[in-house]
Amino acid sequence: MASNSASPIPDQKRVGMVSLGCPKALVDSERILTRLRADGYAMSPDYAGADVVLVNTCGFLDSAKEESLEAIGEAIAENGRVIVTGCMGDEAELIRARYPKVLAITGAHQYEDVVEAVHEAAPPSQGPFIDLVPQPSDQMVKLTPRHYSYLKISEGCNHSCAFCIIPDLRGKLASRRIDAVLREAEKLVAAGTKELLVISQDTSAYGVDTRHETRSWKGREPRAHMTDLARELGQLRTAEGTPPWVRLHYVYPYPHVDAVIPLMAEGLLTPYLDIPFQHAAPSVLKAMRRPANEAKVLERVRKWRDICPDLTIRSSFVVGFPGETEEDFQYLLRWLEEAQLDRVGGFRFEPVEGAAANALPNPVPEEVKEERYARLMEVTTSISNAKLAAKVGRTLPVIIDEVGEPDEDGDIGATGRSQADAPEIDGEVFLRNVPDALAAGDIVQVEIEDADAHDLYGVLVAL
């Protein structure tokens, strides 16, 4: 549930928010709450204090839909006044069949419709404070800690992957103006953000729909293009005069991705790429309707690491896609051994209503999916073990996420992340014996003393 530290206005209506799914949906939730706060609403941290509850749903997989439906049911049981938005908004009949008392249902990133539904369900107070004092519409409500922020650069996607219905849920690619993106990034950094996480459905395709139009920014004319955007974000500086960490997510390996690697080597971008490879076997990639140039990708990965040795590559892979043979799966394992990706997430193929993959022949039995998933995790865990062990003895920059309370001996521990670790999805760095002056958002130097398959352990070198 969202919270808000602003002082309440008498009779001020309060809105609760349950946000499910990916970081892109989280950004949608932040934008909705920001607009509502500008209209005079306060945020409620619990069901009991809310005049209405928003549930921002995920509809990417059937399991995610079920989780969303359960969240709607909980909100109805605990509060009774519920508005549904997000990716499941296109399945209003399904939602109303189970929960006929839902007040309104809107689709993904339909901000105006959500706000209008809230106005109808819980009309905003129109007292003298609201009438006379402008609301802070330019001050974003954040659902992440103050020191990191998601920066969404586009909506939708032009791909037609067989396993995905995102274009049906969120539409075709719609890029934001580059000056608007940079203005938002500048405001976030000025407000204390130390780490920007650039997100979209396809970051590499940014600006394709606008023919990479240029806009004036700080005396320059950057294009709506991933490389121009990356270069401009690298010019930002925090209050301490240092570049914020800028992390690129959902990067398809188009040729122009090569141009951002030198920016990472120069320290203008965080040396981290999140690339959704999904598989490596040519026959499976073809069935998935994805580019099947895995050999060329391996060559490019080697060149990227020559330019930027500290580059971290994370990806995700689907096992058990219809028609995947044991030979295909073995191909994937060999490819992973050669690619030596730093961070890997694995998923068992799961049909989702409306996806073209559901009609493909030769479905893989569930027990085979489980067995392949276990083997995939065994291989990737071994690679991760070796890569993290190689960092023992090194000194790395770490951003602090949380500082603990003193134990019985007065020692304080802290949790942070290296540049190889995105929040929520990668590993962490656990620090011992930190000073009580350390705070979330500090970027410090840490000597790595130990490692396991996912996390690092170390001690502070200097503030």
The annotation places the binding site for [4Fe-4S] cluster at: 22, 58, 87, 157, 161, 164
* Nearest C-alpha neighbor of 422 from the set 278, 277, 270, 267: 270
How far from 413 is each of 209, 391, 456, CA to CA, in Å? 48, 20, 13
Q: Which two tokens stand for residue 311?
A: 């580059």
The first and second tokens of residue 153, run together, are 């650069």
d(CA 146, CA 195): 10
Amino acid at 96: R
**What is the C-alpha separation between 417 and 420, in angstroms, rounded?**
8
CB proximity list for 35: less than 8 A, separation 6 or greater:
111, 115, 137
Query: At 407, which amino acid appears?
Result: D
Encoded tokens for 332: 């994937």
| Residues making up the binding site | 22, 58, 87, 157, 161, 164
Cα–Cα nearest to 238, from 197, 190, 187, 185: 190
Q: Are the CB atoms for 312 and 342 separated by under 8 Å?
A: yes
